[in-house]
Amino acid sequence: MTSGASAFIYVTLRIVVALALGAALGWFAGSVWFGVSGTLGLYLAWNLWQLRELQFWLRHRSVADPPDALGLWGDVVAQVVRLHRRKRFHKERLTRLFRELRRSTAAMPDGVVMLDPLGEIVWFNKKAGELLDLSRRADLGLRIDNLVRHPDFVQYLHGGQYSQPVIVRVDTPVERHLAFQVISYGEDQRLLMLRDVTKEVRLEQMRKDFVANASHELRSPLTVVAGYLETLGSDPQLSEVAAPLAEMRRQTDRMTRIIEDLLELSRFEANDGPIKGTPVDVAAMAALLRKDVMARPVHPRQVDVNIESAAVLIGDEAMIQSAFSNLVDNAAKYTPAEGSMTIRWWTDEEGAHFSVRDTGPGISAEHIPRLTERFYRVDPGRSRETGGSGLGLAIVKHALHRHGARLEIESIEGRGSTFTCHFPLERVVETRAAANG
């Protein structure tokens, strides 16, 4: 039997006994009803007193002790005391957790801003306040896009694609470059993570400037050296050193190609924004690329061109030409003379696609994620033999990025590779529509 049921039985027995005693006293006094009603009145007064004591304690329980009560009132007081202790325990626990959370977020090297579904600031840690110059009194409840007004950030915040961070310049009292990334959680709640990448951005800009300037300055002396080597190589009196001169010319040509690729990559990196461009006839470009491959002294036995769409591509023709020629050039270099290549152009409901498939040696899976890095080589010895600069796929990656496209690489070691450029649907225009435009 529970304590509540025991208390109820105890109170019931007490009332029955009290009424019996009251009836007996009333009988001796000559009125049973008077004894019963008097007993009930006294019992009611006692309950009112107990209720008043309970009400006073509930109002002043932080400073007053719980009342000494019996029966049901004692059980009620005991239940309230237990609930109060439990509430105080959970409150203290939540307070400790909140303090730990505040200390841990304050120690984070990155800023954290909590946003509601409308993009309003609910909370931010100390680092976010420093990076964005936020004030808890003035900025809580404001929309984050009213404080960070950079167009790239506003587009990223409302775009719904949060897989990659966006880097923008923020004009706080100190000019900074911040990397923002949104993490969704709960019911349309968002955490905005931000990190100061000013040093990285400046170092990257210095690298770009150095590469561009160094490549530009090296091109002129290399041109002079190449000219003298060509003159010396054609002199019949120097036939004894013809082989070393030929090797010097080959290495000079290789250095020239590397510098040209560096300059081209620098031009692509100088402006990283999307481009509008003009209609590009990919079918005609593919035919010219095949013609260039077949004009090589050593080339694959079979080079096919499959044009499966009459659509044209909207973009920068020089960039598209550079990207496609690098893919075709790589395939031609690494495909043996008895092998084959296939250049394919097609469109579907997802956009336009240009692929180059070869039957070369293929690439092992661990190398594929790094192929578009600058100067990354799967086989350095083989690259030196073929005269590659290690920049071709980096140029392809940047050219596609400027067009909102991506590069997909499929390869099986020993069975060849397929490089596919995927362009978004907005870059595809039918031939008739392009002509009317």
Mean pLDDT by 10 residues, the chain (437 residues): 60 68 69 70 75 77 71 74 81 79 70 86 84 84 86 84 83 82 82 87 76 72 78 74 78 76 69 75 92 88 91 89 90 89 92 92 84 72 55 84 89 88 89 42
- In eight-state DSSP terms, residue 120 is B
Q: State how far the Cα of 127 lies from the Cα of 195, in Å rounded to an integer.
A: 9
Q: State how far the Cα of 335 lies from the Cα of 359, in Å rounded to an integer.
A: 6
Backbone φ/ψ region at 237: left (φ over 0), alpha (ψ -120 to 50), beta: alpha
Retrieve residue 294's tokens.
């077949």
Burial 117-156 (b: 16+ CB within 10 A, else e): eebbbeebbebbbebbebeeeebeeeebbeebebeebbeb
Cα Rg of the chain, angstroms: 41
pLDDT given at position 44: 74
Residues 6+ apart with CB under 8 A from 347: 308, 309, 311, 353, 428
Retrieve residue 308's tokens.
């499966």
The Cα angle at residue 185 between residues 180 and 188, in degrees rounded to 5:
95
**How many CA atoms, within 13 angstroms, populate the side-chain half-sphere of residue 270?**
11
Retrieve residue 234's tokens.
């054609």
Q: Which helix (H) or strand (E) holds 348?
A: strand 340-348
